[in-house]
Amino acid sequence: MKLDLLKPQWLDIVFEGRNKLYGAYQLRKENPKTTVKALAIGAVIFAFLVSIPMLAKLIPDSADEDTTLDKKIVTVKLPPKKEVPPPNLPPPPPPPPKIDQVKFVKPIVAKAEEVVEEPPKIKEIVDKKVGDKDIKGDPDAELTVEPVGTGPKQVVEEDNTLYNMAGIEVKPEFPGGIDKFLKFVGNNYRAPEEEGLKGRVIVSFVVEKDGSLTDIKVLRDIGFGTGAEAIRVLKKSPKWQPAEQNGRKVRCSYQLPIMIQSAN
């Protein structure tokens, strides 16, 4: 029998009766494939090394690009630089007045040798304006007159002080007087139906500048909802005539006693 070493049949003969799961059998069986892969990889690497000089010629020279770029920069014309005036320049001098202005020198008491500048004489300031320096007037200048102002406005601070009935100039008053107010309370107050109920309920409130009643409080009551009923009645009250102090309307506190007595 003729044996071809290039075919894998000889491996079966060599490893006949032996353990083929051993690593040597697998290595010899895969040896042709490994050899082919190695030849292919080597060929690729060799071809790349041989083509390096040709690839280098294809890369553009950076010196040529720099030369072209320099030529383009040289041919660009920049616009003329605008002159920016320096900041914080002093304002222009005011136009000359219509008449001459003479500098006023404040007179002081000093020795003759210490006088630096003499004040102007009376005849020098006739028909002239007095100022802090000498200015030559322009008789042809346009005469301007500043508009007349209204002057500073007087700011009146609002008086929110709470006054009481003692010492107030004009006391707050219900429309029609105190009798009308007592009648209003008597007609609207609903006393609780409790036998033998008798006593006095005292309430306080503030008469505002517009005559409305605010801050209604019960200072004393006799129970059975008498204080809450007094508050309800006062909230229905029409506006009062507000108190006045120094000719201005002010806030003023007021106290009202209400006598309660059941019908029985």
Query: How many CB atoms lie under 10 A from the CB of residue 220?
Result: 12
Query: What was the pLDDT predicted at 35?
Result: 81
Give CA–CA dist 217/161, Å, rounded. Answer: 19
Give exposure, 138-165, as e/b (b: 16+ Cβ within 10 Å). Answer: eeeeeeeeeeeeeeeeeeeeeeeeebee
Give CA–CA dist 51/255, Å, rounded. Answer: 115
* Tens digit of each residue's pLDDT, the chain (264 residues): 555 555 666 666 666 666 666 666 666 666 777 788 888 898 889 888 888 888 877 776 655 555 444 444 445 555 676 777 677 777 777 666 666 666 655 655 545 555 556 666 666 666 666 666 667 766 666 656 556 656 556 656 677 889 988 888 999 999 999 899 989 988 998 888 888 788 889 999 999 999 999 999 999 988 888 899 999 999 999 999 999 999 999 999 999 898 887 665
Q: Are 133 and 103 in contact (CB under 8 A)?
A: yes
Q: What is the pTM of this model?
A: 0.42
Residue 21: partners with Cβ closer than 8 Å, 6 or more residues away: none
Query: What was the pLDDT predicted at 4?
Result: 55
Q: Are 131 and 101 in contact (CB under 8 A)?
A: yes
